[in-house]
């Protein structure tokens, strides 16, 4: 049994210290990160007890994406919205579960825009497989308060992004552009503790992660790529791993290396994953950990969104693995 650390680095302590490094920082971002932390702790607690408190199952409606909404989607969304609004740091919120943007009343407005997926991997809730939450925080170059018309910012306007993973333990992984850091929730004290400082993704892995049920709906390039992973000219085949929760699949990719792909299919010709609250935040984290993230043509962080629920293809992970699939896509053009 490890002894108690009397100088432990909590997430709050870590980001307070980061804030102090920036001259004239207002502390607004630190406030916002604190509110996200509270939302995530509450969701984690709800997830752990969902089977007992009858929080499994559907809420009875579908969202703007045409997906069946789960009770936990609703709860997680309300928590994110209420806590973020009360941080006095955000002007506009974008959520997977809300058709239109959510504007914060003037008295509580701040300079940030936040896009979030309150509960990622909804289909895994009822069978106790890992799920998550994802967020990206955007800011205008001139620091002014963005209007509703100005919310469609690219990944180049992200000042912080991250995800929570409700796995065998709850983790919060975050980057403010200065490395990627992982914090594990210690349930005995209710605090996130720094456990993974400056995370780096391997340059190459040996795992590919894609929903192979759609094999016959992929382009030739993707079919050839996955086939090469299974029947390589030299070396061992890659391992296949697919959880079906982007957070879990990308987290594993960061830790072990390899590639996660969600390409276009016949059913989803622009891909399934949403740019602003799934692809951009994960691309920001993976890129800051030394990996790569592309839509098959350009870096995901360079895509200028045209709609809040816009979808994109996603190829994300170890630099060499992502380069390999991009080369094949180019060859097949
Ligand atoms: P969400 O639960 O937030 O709607 O996201 C589901 C996403 C993502 O987590 C996952 O990678 C993907 O859907 C899985 O889709 P398929 O079932 O088509 O593989
Ligand atoms: Mn959904
Ligand atoms: Mn999702
Ligand atoms: Mn979701």
Kindly report the protein residue whose alpha carbon is nearest to atom 11 of ligand 1: 246
Pairing between β-strand 259-262 and β-strand 207-209 as defined by DSSP bridges: parallel
* CA–centroid distance, residue 273 to ligand 3 (Å): 7
* CA–centroid distance, residue 73 to ligand 3 (Å): 10
308 contact partners, CB below 8 Å, separation of at least 6: 94, 100, 101, 115, 151, 152, 276
- Atom number, ligand 1, closest to the C-alpha of residue 123: 2
What's the CA gap between 37 and 28, in Å, rounded? Answer: 14
The answer to whether 203 and 319 have CB atoms below 8 angstroms apart is yes
What's the CA gap between 123 and 70, in Å, rounded? Answer: 9
Residues of the chain with pLDDT under 70: 1-2
Q: Which pLDDT value is given to residue 240? A: 98
> Which residue in this structure is represented by tokens 């209710």?
190
Pairing between β-strand 207-209 and β-strand 180-186 as defined by DSSP bridges: unpaired
Q: Which of 98, 130, 165, 246 to mutate to test the pocket of ligand 1 (most atoms within 8 A of CB)?
A: 246
Pairing between β-strand 239-240 and β-strand 191-196 as defined by DSSP bridges: unpaired
- The backbone torsions φ and ψ at residue 90, rounded to the nearest 5 degrees and listed phi first, read -120, 145
Q: Which pLDDT value is given to residue 25? A: 86
Q: What is the pTM of this model?
A: 0.98
- Atom number, ligand 1, closest to the C-alpha of residue 67: 4
- Residues having C-beta closer than 5 Å to ion ligand 2: 67
Q: Coil, strand, or helix at residue 216? A: helix
Q: Is the ipTM of this complex over 0.90?
A: yes
In the structure encoding, which two tokens stand for residue 265, read together?
């299919």
* CA–centroid distance, residue 77 to ligand 1 (Å): 17
| Ligand 1 contact via 252 beta carbon (within 6 Å) | no
Cβ burial of 16 (10 Å; 0-12, 13-18, 19+) is: middle
What are the pLDDT digits (tens) for 124-155? 999 999 999 999 999 999 999 999 999 999 99
| Ligand 1 contact via 97 beta carbon (within 6 Å) | no
Q: Which pLDDT value is given to residue 1? A: 61
Alpha helices in the chain (DSSP H): 11-20, 28-49, 71-85, 220-230, 246-256, 280-288, 319-331
């Amino acid at each position: 049994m490890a002894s108690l650390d009397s100088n432990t680095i909590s997430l709050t302590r870590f980001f307070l210290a980061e804030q102090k490094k920036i001259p004239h920082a207002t502390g607004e971002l630190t406030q916002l990160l604190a509110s996200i932390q509270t939302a995530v702790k509450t969701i984690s607690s709800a997830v752990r007890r969902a089977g007992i408190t009858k929080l499994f199952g559907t809420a009875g409606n579908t969202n703007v994406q045409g997906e069946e909404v789960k009770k936990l989607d609703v709860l997680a969304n309300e928590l994110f919205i209420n806590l973020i609004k009360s941080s006095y740091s955000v002007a506009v919120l974008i959520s997977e579960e809300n058709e239109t943007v959510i504007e914060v009343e003037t008295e509580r407005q701040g300079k940030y825009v936040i896009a979030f997926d309150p509960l990622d991997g909804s289909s895994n809730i009822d069978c106790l497989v890992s799920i998550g939450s994802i967020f990206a925080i955007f800011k205008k170059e001139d620091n002014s308060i963005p209007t509703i018309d100005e919310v469609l910012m690219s990944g180049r306007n992200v000042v912080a992004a991250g995800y929570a993973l409700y796995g065998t333990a709850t983790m919060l992984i975050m980057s403010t552009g200065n490395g990627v850091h992982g914090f594990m929730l210690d349930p005995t004290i209710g605090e996130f503790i720094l456990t993974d400082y400056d995370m780096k993704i391997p340059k190459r892995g040996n795992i590919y992660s894609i929903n192979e049920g759609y094999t016959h709906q992929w382009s030739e390039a993707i079919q050839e790529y996955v086939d090469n992973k299974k029947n390589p000219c030299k070396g061992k085949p890659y391992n296949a791993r697919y959880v079906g929760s982007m957070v879990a699949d990308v987290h594993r990719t960061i830790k072990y290396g390899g590639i996660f792909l969600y390409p276009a299919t016949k059913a989803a010709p622009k891909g399934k994953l949403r740019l602003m609250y799934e692809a951009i935040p994960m691309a920001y984290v993976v890129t800051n950990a030394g990996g790569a993230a592309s839509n098959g043509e350009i870096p995901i962080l360079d895509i200028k969104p045209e709609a809040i629920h816009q979808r994109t293809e996603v190829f994300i992970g170890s630099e060499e693995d992502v380069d390999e699939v991009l080369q094949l896509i180019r060859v097949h053009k």
